[in-house]
Chain A
Amino acid sequence: MTLDPVLLSRLQFFWVISFHILLPAFTVGLACYIAVLESLYLKTGDHTYFRVSVFWTKIFAVSFGLGVVSGIVMPFQFGTNWSRFSDAAANVIGPLMAYEGLTAFFLEASFLGVLLFGRKLVPPWAHCFAAAMVAVGTLFSSFWILALNSWMQTPAGYEIIDGRFHAVDWIAVIFNPSFPFRISHTVTAFLVTTGFVVVGVAAYYLRRERATVEARKMLSMTLWLLTFLVPLQVAIGDLHGLNTFHHQPAKLAAMEGHWETRSGAPFVIVGWPDQQAEVTRWAIEVPYLGSLILTHTLDGTVRGLKEWPREDRPPPAIVFWSFRVMVGIGMLMMLVVVLANWLRWNSRLYDTVWFLRVCEACLPLGFVAVIAGWITTEVGRQPWVIYGLMRTKDAVTPSLAGSDVLVSLIIYMIVYLVVYPVTLYYMIGLVRAGPEIEEEPDRPIEGLQRPLPARAAAGAAGRPGTPIIAEPRP
């Protein structure tokens, strides 16, 4: 048996990025949430915001730590396993990745220290500012890395000289055709994912009648946000789909399970796209709906997979089903939001046990949808690493032996299968411990305590439960 370095490298990339993306999916949203809570606390002085913020900051710290170290893995993958791609595309992708580091990672890392450990070392406004900077950092990071990913999906603003890509127009490179849709869709997905985690945790407390003040605040705030974001996400998703229809029609044909190019195309609800037979088996279809969704006319033409030679088609079954998982979860989330607003209207939001159970059950849904969406867009791009220009099989490192990749893949699998469950275990422990025990600002490095300057101390003194100088605890 020969070990194919291309296939194994793809599996390895799939493995490390799928695990990595779970963390930004959570930390981007959570950083924004913490920044909002800190701002509200600074503005209103309401101590509930403070307790909720401290609680989520602890969970944020754990997930952010893992996000950083699993993220460091990513750029090195480009070099170790995809060096031919790096060599060919570096003129375009290099600056985008470097800008991500320069604008985002340092911002996050430096202000994270102050957010986690500095509450008593800096004035309240500076601590709030640190929280905001961490959130801004996560958004900058999303901007650059999605600009890069979008460029690989819908390349623009480049020329090819001697087999290597050169940027001619940076604005066109960054704001390539799929970028505005991809970043809106992805960042909204991250916010929604975090929203459902917060809702799930709040429901967990409410059902056990613990920390009810904090939990109501979490549930109420977050459901307002989701009421706005979930329908928005469905609309953005539709626009993103239309963008794919125009720029990556083969991907869209796979998502829809269409083989024949036709006008008045149906919408396939479920089925099994058979790559060999070139049909979608056991299809349940709605006539004309496919054309209606994609062209907004009943008889619009939709291209099928047979338009492309076999070697230029993505594997349709994976793309077809991952797309349906994502959309299905989106519909489910809509239902939860509708139910939540109906219950709020009837003043039964906080004590309807079945609904709280539903919220708890929905806690991980966002993560599943993010992974499913990621698979849809990335597998749907195949067989290209740079769409239509460079094939994935031509991107791999030439010196790489299949056995080496097998070894590294196994090591990545073992390490992630240890580290992720262990981290999750500690996060669940933090949730179990709850927000109510936190009666004073958290996690100072108390050896570093100094009295704050008089002005700042006077500002802080008005807040209950905010001791200016912590006593070292036994």
Chain B
Amino acid sequence: MMPLDFVPLWTLILGFGVFMYVLMDGFDLGVGILFRRAPNDAARDIMMNSVAPIWDGNETWLVLGGVALLAAFPLAFAIILPAVYFPILIMLMALIFRGIAFELRFKASPQSKHRWDAAFHYGSLVATLAQGFLLGAFVQGFRVDGRFFAGGSFDWLTPFSVLTAISLVLGYALLGATWLIMKTEGVLQDWARAQARWLMGGVLVCVGIVSVWTPFLEPKIWARWFSWPNIALLSPVPIISIWLALWVWRSIDRRAEFLPFLGTIALFTMGYLGLVISLWPNIVPHSVSLWDAAAAPRSQAFLLVGTLFLLPVIVGYTAWSYWVFRGKVRAGAGYH
């Protein structure tokens, strides 16, 4: 009997986990990025309250992404993480500061509260920048020798990764702003609308440049998009993306509350899809394929059994906790 190939299923699961992380921690990191620009201190309280009960669960998807990569595609884990040693370090340290800010800001005296504002804001901003550098470096690919990363400590720092870092900051901020449109009202909501409007423009410009630039990084990516019949089959991806951006804009102008967030999620989905199309079937871009990096079938199978059962359960109680905290976070609400 042919051994079963678990790689496609694990690719889906890992892809799902990473995407959940990007969306969910994306909006709460985005709230952090916008935090210091907020109109006043009361608005900041509401902003933080809107994500306080759920940020921890959101961030857990990062751990899942990391350990699922280790478990299902260990060679990729062993090559990629050393290649982005410093972005990972910086991301982790920034996440520490913003993570403890959630608890300590509300317990701080009025004199020291601004420090936790700063910890939350800069922690979110720096963590996002680090993830953006990581993304850029990932798309560009790494120097690999046998089973190991063979490049230098700062290979990740390139003009392209600078652009992806900026794009991700704008993208997360857009997610954060549209989340706030959904979860708040009044002055804060109007402010979030104004932010979302210009952020949408910024995202469109930056992601547009990234999208045009990416095919020039690697002939394979160029061929993927521009060879016949791919060009016809794949052309809906950019077209739908631009249409979605316009749609988000319109929904903001029409003072829709839920649609801007939904539209931004759809936009992120298209961006993610574009990335997958560019890099498939490699897990270490341009050098190691999903199948080459895969763990032993016995290990993948052992974990798969539990994952197929547990992942729906996790999604279920995550949904429940979002349901418990549904509705608007109101002004004048105290945390204590």
Contacts and interface: CB of A to CB of B under 8 A. Distances in A.
B302 A167 contact: yes
Interface string B94-130: 0111011011100110000000000000000000000
Contact of A113 (B57, B328, B336): B57
A137 to B, nearest CB: 11
B234 interface: no
A122 interface: yes
Q: Which of A95, A167, A401 has the most CB of B within 10 A?
A: A95
A329 interface: no
Given A87-B147, A423-B104, A446 B334 contact: yes
A117 B53 contact: yes
Nearest to A76: B88
A472 B299 contact: no
Contact of A429 (B70, B77, B107): B107
Interface in B114-156: 147-151, 153
Interface string A423-444: 1001001100000000000110
B107 A102 contact: no
A419 interface: yes
B230 interface: no
B66 A426 contact: no
B299 A95 contact: yes
Interface string B319-331: 0110011111111
A193 to B, nearest CB: 21
Contact of A443 (B70, B71, B147, B335): B335
B9 interface: no
Interface string B17-47: 0000000000000000000000000000010
B59 interface: yes
Contact of A68 (B52, B56, B148): B56
A86 B89 contact: no
Interface string A154-182: 00000000000011101000000000000
Interface string A61-72: 110011011111
A79 B66 contact: yes
A462 interface: no
B107 A62 contact: yes
A102 B60 CA distance: 9
A408 B325 contact: no
Contact of A399 (B60, B99, B149, B327): B149
Interface string A393-420: 0000111110010001001100100010
B78 interface: yes
A91 B74 contact: yes
B201 to A, nearest CB: 30
A445 B335 contact: yes
Nearest to B154: A404
Interface string B73-90: 011011111110110110
Given A87-B147, A166-B296, A397 B103 contact: no
B67 A100 contact: yes
B53 A118 contact: yes
Contact of B325 (A71, A397, A448): A448
A411 B97 CA distance: 13
Contacts of B75: 87
B72 interface: yes
Contacts of A426: 103-104, 107-108
A273 to B, nearest CB: 36
A448 B335 CA distance: 11
A58 to B, nearest CB: 8
- Interface range on chain B: under 10, 10 to 19, 20 to 34, or 35 or more? 35 or more
Given A91-B298, A122-B324, A98 B78 contact: no
B302 A170 contact: yes
Nearest to B310: A102
B239 interface: no
B188 to A, nearest CB: 11
Contacts of B95: 69, 72
Contacts of A13: none
A66 B320 contact: no
Given A84-B78, A102-B64, A419-B100, A404 B70 contact: no
Q: Which of B102, B104, B326 has the most CB of A within 10 A?
A: B104
A309 interface: no
A111 interface: yes
A110 interface: yes
Interface string A104-145: 011111111110111001100000000000000000000000
Interface in A12-57: none
A79 B82 contact: yes
B68 interface: yes
B183 to A, nearest CB: 9
A399 to B, nearest CB: 5
Contacts of B331: 447
Given A118-B324, A167-B296, A426-B104, A79 B60 contact: no
A121 B325 contact: yes
Contacts of B56: 65, 68, 108-109, 112-113
A90 B73 CA distance: 9
A72 B62 contact: yes
A263 interface: no
B96 A90 contact: no
Nearest to B146: A398
B70 A80 contact: no
B44 to A, nearest CB: 14
A76 B298 contact: no
* Top 9 A-B residue pairs of the complex, sorted by shortest distance between their CB atoms: A79-B81, A90-B74, A94-B71, A447-B330, A113-B53, A69-B99, A447-B333, A109-B57, A87-B78
Interface of B: 46, 49, 52-54, 56-57, 59-60, 62-64, 66-68, 70-72, 74-75, 77-83, 85-86, 88-89, 92-93, 95-97, 99-100, 102-104, 107-108, 147-151, 153, 295-296, 298-299, 302-303, 306-307, 310-311, 314, 317-318, 320-321, 324-336
Given A76-B92, A101-B60, A399-B148, 11 more contacts: A62-B100, A69-B59, A72-B63, A76-B81, A79-B81, A83-B82, A97-B70, A106-B318, A121-B324, A415-B93, A448-B329
Interface of A: 61-62, 65-66, 68-73, 75-76, 78-80, 83-84, 86-87, 90-95, 97-103, 105-114, 116-118, 121-122, 166-168, 170, 397-401, 404, 408, 411-412, 415, 419, 422-423, 426, 429-430, 442-443, 445-448, 450, 472-474
11 contacts: A79-B88, A87-B78, A95-B71, A102-B311, A107-B317, A118-B324, A166-B296, A408-B86, A419-B96, A446-B333, A447-B330
